[in-house]
Amino acid sequence: SCSSSASSSSPSLCCSRPTLHIMHHLMTPVVYNFHKLTLSDGMPGPFAWAMRAGPREKIYFTPGKVKAAIVTCGGLCPGLNDVIRQLVITLEEYGVEDIKGIRYGFKGFFEQEGELRAPMKLDSDVVEMIHLDGGSILGSSRGGSSTSDIVDAVAEMGLDFLFVIGGNGSHAGALAIDNLCKERGVCTSVIGIPKTIDNDILLLDRTFGFQTAVDEAVKAIRSGAIEARSAQNGVGLVRLMGRQSGFIAMHAALASGEVDVCLIPEIPTPLDGPGGVLAHVRRVLKKKQHCVIVVAEGAGQDILDNLGETDASGNPVLQNFAKYVMKEMKEKMADLKCDIKYIDPTYMVRACPTNASDAIYCSILGQNAVHAAFAGLTGSSVGLCNGHYVYLPIAPLISRAREVDPEGRMWERLRLAINQPVYSVCDDETDCPLPLIRP
């Protein structure tokens, strides 16, 4: 058993429970390849062991005495309500009765004045239908948190479990909370559930909400394609989410079957010259009389001036490269009189409810997060890795953002599907990388 050394409901064992960094060497493992990643905190070599997620024979807490809290942090994402719902249902299945929802992100721990700020009492009746709606029943926010204040509130509330639903920044916050709880002797199991439609959390096959975001992005691309085909030299220019990683743009472009140009943060995007983006767009228009361009929000930042600003979560404030591409097309391709339709579906993508695949994924993540807490884990997260549901320590997950490999198979599949060249700065077309669309 993965919890063979534990006896249920022992406070002393709770506070000295093994963390995932110790346990991942001891558990019945799922072997999977970390590929070329360099991991820290004692994680072994290029191959590592991961603890299979799921319920354990023995648990560390008496369910009827457990106090649990759930918090959603960062931007909205399809599936937040699905995860909240399944956490509550699974906690009640164990016998937990005291379940609270922290309002509006981490700051809800210490900004609780007024009825709308106080923690929400959660039970199966409250969450029964929330999965049918987008957003988060608890609300969410970025930044504005003090780890010390949060741990003060955790201790005052007497929480045994804290479930943090969020992306890289939120997981960093969860890890800081867990570390400070250990320093202060606060016996709270802190479990992360990875959320980001950008799909940019390291080591995981995917994060919840990503597939729904791709579905919604495809709808926007097809609208752009209709606009483009309906005008002479029509251009549908679609800006999609993806600050550091172009997974949504790549997958949506491939799924739609209507994209001619896909620009993501991981590839160079020079606009000028025979090897640049504008020359390729010109060739597409000459051949098809219309063109569909997808731009991830983080693309082309090396071309624009770096603002040097950050948002409340510490993310760099990005300039709008898609609008810059539109301006350059109007100026440098004026002879073609392009009819450009600009589409940005960002908030439509974020706010919708999940598709069937993500709904199932969210349910499994919620169940396994509760199993992890009862098994005595802390400072860990749950996710799908190489087809297996596993528990992983938070630290390596947030060591950097997961990115599209511009030399990987999926990106090459997209390039082949849309006949996109490797954009480069070259003086002569004969020196530019193939493939190129020829007349």
- Distances in Å between the Cα of 207 and the Cα atoms of 20, 214, 257, 294, 371 are 20, 12, 24, 22, 19
How far is it, in rounded angstroms, from Cα 66 to Cα 285?
63
The 10 Å CB-count burial string (b at 16+, else e) for 94-104 is: bebebbbbbbb
**Which of 198, 200, 215, 358 is an active site residue?**
198
Strands (E), 169-282: 189-194, 234-240, 261-263
How far is it, in rounded angstroms, from Cα 392 to Cα 162?
16
Burial class (CB in 10 A: 0-12, 13-18, 19+), 427: exposed
Contacts of 381 (CB under 8 A, 6+ apart): 171, 174, 191, 192, 193, 194, 391, 392, 393, 394, 397
* Catalytic status, residue 198: yes
Q: Can you tell me which residue has the tokens 């639903």? A: 165
Amino acid at 380: S
How far is it, in rounded angstroms, from Cα 274 to Cα 268?
14
Catalytic residues: 198
